[in-house]
Structure 1
Amino acid sequence: MTIRRFGKRLGLLLAMTAVLAAPAVCAQDAEPAPKAAKLIQAGDVLSGELNAMRVRSGANGKRVATYQITSEPRRLPGPTGLCGLETGPETFQIITNSDSQVAQLKNFVGKEVSVKVDEVTCSQQAGQMSDAVVTKWSVVTRH
């Protein structure tokens, strides 16, 4: 009698395993492989949601206006620093150099913005909040 019950329990266990494992196998097949990111160069347009960041300057602790764009992954020419990612960086820190640049970006915080990139580099320190840093840029307006 114990052998018959053992067979029934083993059959039930195998059936439950098959039912629970099937969705996991299907989910693995449905996930696409990460595609190669496009190369970003000077003059290219970077689009994404603009976020404001609170950053303090190193020596004197003065607050510096800094912004971040979250965009599709883009590869940088000559990967150095922390940009040695498979798909390229997705977050780009926008450095402002004047009050007029701060005023330009302030209206776009939390919205989609397009920025023409003139100079971009990889983050050099692990403490930086973005994968890449855009030092020279201009806002592209849509008409």
Structure 2
Amino acid sequence: MTKLFATRFALVATMLLLVTPAIAAQQEDEAPPPPKPGKPISAGEVLSGELNAMKIRDVKNAGKRIAMYQITSEPRRLPAPNGLCDLETGPETFQLVTSSDAQASQLKSFVGKEISVKVDEITCASDPGQMSEAVVTKWSLVKK
């Protein structure tokens, strides 16, 4: 019985010695390349992506729930001094700040769809509670 066990153990150990280097080599081949920084975006350029809406509590307005709109896009670098917003590839989520009820109602009909906006003013998110990595404070909707 011990002879049979020793034979099987030796066979398994030999197989592990042969397979382990192949598995390690395969894992090294599958290592993803380091992420590249996104394309730069500056004032006057167009930002495209899917529009999302979230309800958040407004700190200034006694906790009143307000709609916040966000575009999810490919990573983008912001102009200096913001750069990559302390991220490896740049921000992928951009909060659209609405300056009027007209802008908010304009965005409401596009929730869940691809939209494009012309960016006039953009910065990294800095206030606590902001749900996006970057904030677009001045923008206009681009018709396709």
TM-score (norm 1): 0.84
Gaps of 5+ in 2: none
Gaps of 5+ in 1: none
1:88-103 matches, within 5 Å, as 88-103=90-105
Structure 1 residue 2 displacement after superposition = 9.1
Aligned residues: 140
CA RMSD between the two structures: 2.5
Q: 2:30 is paired with a residue of what secondary structure? A: helix
Q: 1:53 is paired with a residue of what secondary structure? A: strand
Deviation per residue, 1:14-34 (Å, 9 max, x gap) = 123245434322211xx2332
Task: Name the % identity.
Answer: 60
Task: Tell me the distance in 2 between the aligned counterparts of 1:95 and 1:36.
Answer: 25
Which residue number corresponds to residue 108 of structure 1?
Answer: 110
Deviation per residue, 1:112-132 (Å, 9 max, x gap) = 000101111111134211000
Task: Tell me the distance in 1 between the aligned counterparts of 2:21 and 2:101.
Answer: 63
Q: In 1, are the aligned partners of 2:84 and 2:91 still within 8 Å (CA)?
A: no
Q: 1:53 to 1:89 in 2, by over 3 A?
A: same
Which residue number corresponds to residue 137 of structure 1?
Answer: 139
Q: 1:64 to 1:2 in 2, by over 3 A?
A: closer
